[in-house]
Structure 1
């Protein structure tokens, strides 16, 4: 069903042309002599590299041009900004063009392409970066949110999503909706006056606002902040993603009342703007899909039809990711192919002539690209469709690989940062794989006569099939289609695994089967979803009927995805391989396509995929060894919360895992830090006490890491405790992790380093959960972890023998100014104190309070993750992620 994959005839033609060219080249070496096919194959094997390269350049010139364009963008991103790259490089490009046009021969066409593309796309990248950094809103925004008043103009359709926190009982006062839109800044309030400003912002409003359209002028009262830089090892830097979307900052608005409409466009040109019509249609489509589908399938229908994935909850996104089916509900070329198929069917029903049919399909493609937000995968598919239709109209041959390269050139010039976008990379990789592997079911030859013999054999097989019964004939066709779909899915999975693994930390072999099962269902789900929108505009009854069909197919897809996600060993969460190892995989794979295709090359290519995977798994899951006797503690920046990764010899432990406001149970920051250390299993997790900001990420962690045991203070997980612990109890029960209770006086051996429990006593102390926090002393007091300890637990702790001075202390209760800090500091006498806290921990008073005994103070909220290493001699090394990343 994939339009991009349906190019087998074009490839057969291309292959025959290539074979003819090769045959002619061989004949040119022996004019007037008759050569056998064996001689031709021998000559091909012995052909020097340069003629083969010249033939490839002649056959797929745009591929080489696209490669030079990518190299130009990468080089341009490494060079400093300036007028040199805005003016002189384009001039150099055209000068080079004139030079090579005057002197080049056919064999130097690749030099001509390099001379043009390299400087041209370097200049395009430099111009793009210069335009972005010229936005004045960048200097006004910082990573710490600041109150701001802005005047903006909406320039993208509004996106509506469900507020994930509104479903939590303690957050029912929140609006069940959240609105997002992009806008261009025109003015910024400075004191009592407005000053002119430039740049674009992402506006997030707590509430439902669907009346805004591109062109509306608004005044916003909210919090302005820059997109944050990574603060933990392994954390993905999201700033390039926003830069690719030309977004400079984010504005958070607490309620719709804090937005004032200054002006609604009243001129005819703006009122009839295609952007406003597209936004109105997208809003109407969203409402119809929500109205005519169920509560569980509605978000999937919106993502499927109009490309707004924000409705899909995080749990469903994880299921799609681990089953390798995220692309099915992310608008892409496959969806456009289905839309084109429906448009083609409609044109056939009304019997449109060819020219009108081509115009109709092109119009549908343009409309679908606009409605879905102009995403690169859809634009790539639209360009392929347009090129093919224009070739049909002009009666000219079309080479799919060249057309794909043309689409790449257009997308790169439109936005040079598409080169580094993982979605764009996966889209082009999948299509290129389908194009190259779509003909692998047939045997290949290197002589036209053999191709003719194969075609005759196929015709004989077709004649034999015509004499069989319909059941046998259709059964053979069905089995053949299933085999081809399985082969295609396996090829795409094999080539995309390194890229998906590197960016998303997951390897999903089960995706081969799930994609084969879900692709036919996707056709009916999308077709009925489109029918829900268009027929819903005419009749609510017809729209409801289509919506029911769409919901049924989406429900079936959900069940298959859930079942696939539960298959043992169907997927694995793993640390990412090194980027250069991933790049080497694709370089070697591309190089293998250059050589003549033979069984040996095919087996070498398949063996390379397996060998690469084994080496990548071994290197990614092997943590860097610590020196003998050295312990390491990494305090992750989780905001107001606590999570400490302990590496004790060859063992890995966690002390707490949660943060304030993490009601959805996300563990992303912790997961990425563990993966960056090469950790796939934990010897144990200490939960200090029953405050949610110390344990609420555990359900997410147990999904991705093997945990041997969980250690808690006495009674923490008792059934009569807080209801917020239900998710933790459920996660522990489902994974059957052993739970142990620990109290003062017990000692554990972890990696040959003693962990002594200092608090609480077996019977506990008076007071709340904080007072009974689990306090650990590691390596005889070299590292002290007291949780949220507060009186009367503080008095119980300091009555115990004092540890040796000069160690590292985690500040109790996130460095709270209300705790009895002086007593703990005088008792512990640390050399360094680490504060795991959020916004309140940034205050200068916190550092002053903790430094009263001369201790150095490190706050995760300002310095990012803090890594502490203590060697066998007690020497302490501290590094912070923002100042000295490791």
Structure 2
């Protein structure tokens, strides 16, 4: 806040000085005044969760929270989710929102409730490139989470305490539209609900994946496309009804804001609605509206409402796509002067293609950074799917008005059903096109800056002389920076990342040139698959398309669970494990996938070596050849990763018996870094073993509040007594160990813990 005050004082001083000199630029000064205002407002929003009384009470057991439900509850599996605007906690006044997950399905918007139990702060990003749920919730003013336990009480104190407009108009209208869509379209109503209500919760996973791969997710996210469709449809309806011009404009504005409220007032919906309202206001007052002014007003409205929207990917994509279309489309059209002479159908297809190219060019860096893919096939898919979506939205509006009329409702419902089928078929078709999309790593800030500079120059080749010079100068500067980085910035020989997969193990060893080895894959439960939710997104984030090896230390579910998903989707040179089979569905699936895909399958035992680069290799320390381990844990593959002068010990889930065998079999097992055996249990990390390894850094891969109570206090005390820097994935998130020639650097994702060794 001091920076904002200081900047404001400087501006005031400049203002006084400019008055004295007589060269005041009021417009420039007005815009500059928004900088400290926005900075101060943003700083207040960022600090609000930390300063909130909700944050102070989070983590305490048996809290009593009272407040009003401010969202319409929705079902998620066997529970109901709603947001509670808190009035007090434990009898003390509080403010902010808590997201509740309860078993009571009778809760409604506007209910005043009292809940008893434990509230928790949301967990932030736990792995590189992963979704930051904490920031997402904070951006929407949600500071804590509550999940009803078996003995926790949820009591309704009063009804009807919400906003009367929302409670009396918006929610009944949503309920009506859902009932009509369900009645007339059956199971195919999910797409129409997405278009009319902005609801995607019912979207089947396979359909959602097809939309993602084909680059058509924007059809499901309420944005300018939907608001523009509604704008056109209703303005034409009001014109056909001979409504006076100005009344027609006002009614259209009303419809747009009603639609925005129906869809939940998302940033993209508000942006499009504000822009549409500004344009219509210009029509009302018979004044020309400037599109960039409309965009600026929309951004200002959203950011004053919540400055943290600036970091919301929906906000970024919405505004970037809009600006890109407005700026690039006319310039792209100038490059095709013959298009206007073509038949009308060719012109429309060509213009649609240019619009898609403009939107993709503008949003490509954000999409690459967020989703690690670029769907080139969307350029063609837009030409077919967007018009079909327009038709479906029109049918949905007819259903809204005539859905309860027997004959008409059935007719429109049948039309909606078949149009939805057509959209699903087209999306599936484009998603299945070979090489229709490309996976990519997240671009750095410098790459994004150079990309946009080059894009502006390319777009102005026919208009500006400086554009040609820029297209030569920008790549030259970029190449110089890359050359400098390669020569003078030291790159690690290898990087070992211990991912936070909850109660399980997973580590990825990366070498220069995108070569990598995966050691274990985390767990697979009814709630999550670590391979799908954590490991695969990380590989995409890092741009790793092929694994030199996948090593499964042993067949326990918390180590092998995520591997089947990876085996099916990533090119793998070979799989290695201890050859200790398990009688489980997970192991059977794991083994059958290896056989079906003809992946090389090796059995590891002590004395073997895996060389993966000139300076790095794995020595296998366990299991001992010719022996029968007494448990799956003691059958674990133990690897000593040697890279230059530095060593990392991967221990799987070995217990004291295997530790004793390793100590007796090898003269030296020293390593600077150790993955603590068996999540820090009481049956492993014997003092003799740990002292012989003599680590300086230890990583415990463990889940928060796990039922085994790992890690044990004995293990923690032992490592601390030996002055070992201890990292824990449940507390610190993923841990990256960067190995240089004579140096090791370990960094936790939350940046609070670091360690360096020479």
Q: What's the TM-score, normalizing by structure 2?
A: 0.84
From 210, 221, 226, the counterpart of 1:335: 226
Report how far residue 372 of structure 1 moved. Answer: 0.7
From 84, 89, 102, the counterpart of 1:188: 89
TM-aligned CA distance change 1:633 to 1:274, over 3 Å: closer
Kept in 2, the 8 Å contact 1:292–1:548? The answer is yes
1-side partners of 2:729 and 2:485: how far apart?
27
Report how far residue 305 of structure 1 moved. Answer: 2.1
- 1:858 maps onto 2:727 in alignment: yes
Kept in 1, the 8 Å contact 2:457–2:470? The answer is no
Kept in 1, the 8 Å contact 2:98–2:144? The answer is yes
- 1:581 maps onto 2:447 in alignment: yes
- Is the partner of 2:156 in helix, strand or coil? strand
2-side partners of 1:242 and 1:230: how far apart?
12
Partner in structure 2 of residue 464 of structure 1: none
Report how far residue 741 of structure 1 moved. Answer: 3.3
Report how far residue 202 of structure 1 moved. Answer: 1.7
1-side partners of 2:76 and 2:183: how far apart?
15
Identify the structure with bigger relative contact order (alpha carbons < 8 Å, sequence gap 6+). Answer: 1
Report how far residue 655 of structure 1 moved. Answer: 0.8
TM-aligned CA distance change 1:561 to 1:223, over 3 Å: farther
- Is the partner of 1:248 in helix, strand or coil? strand
Report how far residue 488 of structure 1 moved. Answer: 1.2
- Is the partner of 2:561 in helix, strand or coil? coil
Report how far residue 371 of structure 1 moved. Answer: 0.8
Kept in 2, the 8 Å contact 1:667–1:701? The answer is yes
From 684, 708, 716, the counterpart of 2:549: 684
From 683, 701, 708, the counterpart of 1:836: 701
TM-aligned CA distance change 1:121 to 1:877, over 3 Å: closer
TM-aligned CA distance change 1:784 to 1:746, over 3 Å: same
Query: CA offsets, 1:612-650, max 9 Å, x none?
Result: 9999999999998656xx554322222211111224676
2-side partners of 1:489 and 1:823: how far apart?
65
Kept in 2, the 8 Å contact 1:642–1:656? The answer is yes
TM-aligned CA distance change 1:573 to 1:783, over 3 Å: same
Partner in structure 2 of residue 567 of structure 1: 433
Partner in structure 1 of residue 355 of structure 2: 488
Report how far residue 526 of structure 1 moved. Answer: 2.4
Kept in 1, the 8 Å contact 2:575–2:599? The answer is yes
Query: CA offsets, 1:356-379, max 9 Å, x none?
Result: 322322221111011111112112
2-side partners of 1:620 and 1:300: how far apart?
48
Query: CA offsets, 1:370-417, max 9 Å, x none?
Result: 111111211222122222223223322233233222222222222222
Q: What's the TM-score, normalizing by structure 1?
A: 0.73
Report how far residue 724 of structure 1 moved. Answer: 2.7
Q: How does 1:207-218 map to 2 (within 5 A)?
A: 207=103, 209=105, 211-213=107-109, 215-218=110-113
Partner in structure 1 of residue 203 of structure 2: 312
Bigger drift between 95-104 and 516-525 goes to 95-104
From 351, 375, 391, the counterpart of 2:282: 391
Partner in structure 2 of residue 321 of structure 1: 212
- Is the partner of 2:360 in helix, strand or coil? helix
Bigger drift between 544-553 and 421-430 goes to 544-553
Q: How does 1:549-564 map to 2 (within 5 A)?
A: 549-564=415-430
Partner in structure 2 of residue 739 of structure 1: 601
From 620, 643, 649, the counterpart of 1:757: 620
Cα RMSD between the aligned structures? 4.3
1-side partners of 2:133 and 2:388: how far apart?
33
Bigger drift between 272-281 and 418-427 goes to 272-281
- Is the partner of 1:309 in helix, strand or coil? coil
Report how far residue 211 of structure 1 moved. Answer: 4.1
- Is the partner of 1:639 in helix, strand or coil? coil
Bigger drift between 663-672 and 550-559 goes to 663-672
1-side partners of 2:16 and 2:310: how far apart?
24
Kept in 1, the 8 Å contact 2:66–2:86? The answer is yes
Partner in structure 2 of residue 140 of structure 1: 57
Partner in structure 1 of residue 506 of structure 2: 643
Kept in 1, the 8 Å contact 2:52–2:96? The answer is yes
Report how far residue 757 of structure 1 moved. Answer: 2.8
TM-aligned CA distance change 1:420 to 1:804, over 3 Å: closer
Partner in structure 2 of residue 784 of structure 1: 649
Partner in structure 2 of residue 696 of structure 1: 561
Report how far residue 495 of structure 1 moved. Answer: 1.9
- 1:654 maps onto 2:518 in alignment: yes
Kept in 1, the 8 Å contact 2:681–2:711? The answer is no
TM-aligned CA distance change 1:104 to 1:738, over 3 Å: farther
Gaps of 5+ in 1: 1-78, 164-174, 446-453, 462-474
- 1:722 maps onto 2:584 in alignment: yes
TM-aligned CA distance change 1:869 to 1:239, over 3 Å: closer
Kept in 1, the 8 Å contact 2:442–2:542? The answer is no
Kept in 1, the 8 Å contact 2:214–2:378? The answer is yes
1-side partners of 2:51 and 2:502: how far apart?
31
- Is the partner of 1:212 in helix, strand or coil? coil
Query: CA offsets, 1:515-548, max 9 Å, x none?
Result: 2221111112223344444444x24775454444
Query: CA offsets, 1:411-452, max 9 Å, x none?
Result: 22222223332211211221222223443465599xxxxxxx
Bigger drift between 323-332 and 797-806 goes to 797-806
Query: CA offsets, 1:540-565, max 9 Å, x none?
Result: 77545444433433333333333333
2-side partners of 1:240 and 1:764: how far apart?
50
Report how far residue 723 of structure 1 moved. Answer: 1.7
Kept in 2, the 8 Å contact 1:104–1:112? The answer is no
Q: How does 1:363-512 map to 2 (within 5 A)?
A: 363-440=254-331, 443=334, 476-512=343-379
Partner in structure 1 of residue 115 of structure 2: 220
Partner in structure 2 of residue 241 of structure 1: 136
Kept in 1, the 8 Å contact 2:747–2:753? The answer is yes
1-side partners of 2:271 and 2:101: how far apart?
29
From 629, 632, 653, the counterpart of 1:769: 632
Q: How does 1:276-287 map to 2 (within 5 A)?
A: 276-287=168-179
1-side partners of 2:477 and 2:362: how far apart?
11
Report how far residue 837 of structure 1 moved. Answer: 0.8
Name the larger-Rg structure.
1
2-side partners of 1:669 and 1:155: how far apart?
32
